Amino acid sequence: MKQKEFLKTYFSFIILIFSIFISLFCYKKYSLWKTDNKNTKNIINELKEVPKQEIKTNLPVNFLNIDFTDLIKTNKDTVAWIKINNTLVDYPVVQYKDNDYYMKRDFYKNNNEAGTIFSDYRNNFLNLNKNTILYGHSRLDNTMFGSLRFMLNEEFFSEPQNNYIIVSTPYYNSIWQIFSVYKIPKENYFLTALFKDGEYDVFLNTILNRSYYNFNTSVSPTDYTLTLSTCGDSDGLTRIIVHAKLIKKESTKAF
């Protein structure tokens, strides 16, 4: 009887300790998320001050001309700026020698779980690859690439301007037209940046057929594509993917 009472008390103690440990762990994670979230919003507000101007086009969206001078002084890894209308995507893009560095670092290179928007290390913004790939975390407050989840709702594309992605670089301004959006289990196929003969044509057909919606936009091997990738769930087991093709490009204007 005493042994049973001892075991009961022992297991109750273990459960209590385990519960305290889990509570402390969750509190620490929440505190970290809250701090990172606050810092991220501060950075976003600071970046709103970057000099920029719209340049009219004959499309539903305009070019976005960015003054990269101070951005590059602050972070020499800056390679572009991306904007998507009616989302929170309006950020600088950085690039490092690998695809890990900016996963948990902000634009100022400080530790931050929110990371920043970054380019695949294989991309070349001066001489474009056939497929340019950008990554960003899917934050619950819709910062970084969190608002890409809006695109899983077909009604989002009822606004003509929402069908385009605007990208500015120190060399040129560009507009890309979305032709494929989907959610898929984590994989690497859509992250292909370099292609051998014939592979790009197969790649385009594959990602076009994956799309949830028919955008009535054709793609061909002569097109350049832009791929946006973010997590589709909190466990990181799925990805939300957006593909667009380059339709307009002009040299960057001087400020």
Kindly give, in sequence order, each residue whose CB lies less than 8 Å from that of residue 185, ignoring residues fewer than 6 positions away. 237, 238, 239
User: Active site residue: 231, 240, 241, 244, which one?
Assistant: 231
Cα angle 213-216-221, degrees, rounded to a multiple of 5: 105
Indicate the SS3 state at residue 154. helix
In whole angstroms, how large is the CA radius of gyration of the chain?
A: 22
- Amino acid making up residue 154: E
26 counts as catalytic: no
Sign of CA dihedral 45, 105, 241, 71: positive
- Amino acid making up residue 63: F
Kindly give, in sequence order, each residue whose CB lies less than 8 Å from that of residue 82, ignoring residues fewer than 6 positions away. 89, 90, 91, 93, 117, 134, 165, 166, 167
Please list the active-site residues: 231
